[in-house]
Structure 1
Amino acid sequence: MKKILFTALVAASSLVSAQGIDFGAKAGVVFNANDGFWEGMDGVSKAEGSTGFQLGAVLRARFAGFYVQPELLYTQTTNEYDKGKVKKKSMDIPVGVGKRFLGIAHAQIGPTFSYYFEDKLNVGNFVNASQDQFGVGYHIGGGVQIKNLMFDLRYQKGFGKLTSEFVQGSSKYQTENTPQNINLSVTYLF
């Protein structure tokens, strides 16, 4: 039994080391397409998405013709409402499982875990009284890799709605949205 386990461990480690692990730096544009709303004392308005950005690090482990790609990304987006804008900042951890094909192309799918650490309203002196801090969603996408550069297009959507509450004296506003982004990025693999 020990010989079988030892042989399996040696085979698995040589497979991973033979296939390789890549590290990279990633930057991209985020097109925010939220379907949320703003609710306050003066009524309700629907959200419109806008363009944001993301920066971070990528690790890609290749094995048996597939790869696993966890990432750590700082993401900043904005939701636009009739009454103002809410800037959202988060740390996202997408974990993609993918496959390369045709020599340069790849496709992937997986979960995305998000920690939202700041919502900021650009109207008046409102204070962010509360906000949902954690979100889980999924992403699906593809791209091409040319030498050390990867170009990706990815659709990302949250499984649930996120709410934020803003207050100023007796005025109170609440936003609610389902995170939904299209990400266009470039990664440099070291």
Structure 2
Amino acid sequence: MQKLVISTFVLALLCFNSYAQDGTSFGIKAGLNYNANGDYFESIGDNAENPDRNIGYHVGVFGKIGNQIYFRPELIYTATKSSYDSDDLSMKKIDAPLLIGVKVIGPVSVFAGPSLQYILDTEFDGIDIDDVENDFSIGLNFGIGLNINKIGIDLRYERGFNDNEATFIDNNLGNGIVSRIDTRPDQLILSLSIAL
């Protein structure tokens, strides 16, 4: 019985391996983000307010070079939202993850690498935020992926390396309070990709 189970397991791995995406490819990808940015501070109290997580989305393209060990650059448009009590921080950015991956079992791989991020637009409760410390920042992606034929699905975590605060003056209530918010991403990302 044990030999039958082992034989079936080995046969299943070989079948999965024959259907796994091989070699160099490029394609499109899209998916959902479960995101929260950093803390929000009003200057009068400097008490940090932690964000609630929200669902965002992303669409983009990818390339893949290699097979067992591979390099996968991506170029992605990302829209995220974080909630702070009754206010929302909306961000739109371009992400460029540069991932190194390794196949571990058949079509399953693990990957990690830096993500270059360029902020296109930031809005907090209807206020456009122009004073972001750095429009360009670097984060880290790591995760696990499954590729069968031309279809891939992956789950990854992304985190910005350093604080990237935006400051703005809230004149909505006529108080002119200078506030700060950390725009650094902290998100889970679920993606579906199709090799062309």
The bucket for the TM-score relative to the shorter chain is: 0.7 to 0.9
Give identity over the alignment, percent. Answer: 26
Q: Distance in 1 between matches of 2:128 and 2:36?
A: 25
Q: 1:130 maps to which residue?
A: 131
TM-score normalized by structure 2? 0.78
Q: 1:27 maps to which residue?
A: 30
Q: Is the 8 A contact 1:127 1:168 kept in 2?
A: no
Q: Is the 8 A contact 1:129 1:167 kept in 2?
A: no
Could you tell me which runs of 5 or more consecutive residues in structure 1 were left unpaired when the two chains were aligned: 1-18
Q: Distance in 1 between matches of 2:38 and 2:177?
A: 24
Q: Distance in 2 between matches of 1:73 and 1:62?
A: 21
Q: Does 1:183 align with 2:189?
A: yes
Q: 1:47 maps to which residue?
A: 51
Superposed, which structure 2 residues align to 1:93-172 within 5 Å? 93-123=96-126, 126-131=127-132, 132-169=134-171, 170-172=176-178
Q: Distance in 1 between matches of 2:104 and 2:131?
A: 45
Q: Distance in 1 between matches of 2:38 and 2:90?
A: 15
Give the strand-richer structure, 1 or 2. 1
Count of matched residue pairs: 169
Offset, 1:168: 4.6
Partner AA of 1:46 in structure 2: N
TM-score normalized by structure 1? 0.81
Q: Distance in 1 between matches of 2:150 and 2:160?
A: 30
Partner AA of 2:182 in structure 1: E
Segments ≥4 residues shifted beyond 4 Å: 40-43
Q: CA 1:95–1:20 in structure 2 vs 1: closer, same or farther (change >3 Å)?
A: same
Q: Distance in 1 between matches of 2:149 and 2:32?
A: 22
Offset, 1:155: 0.8
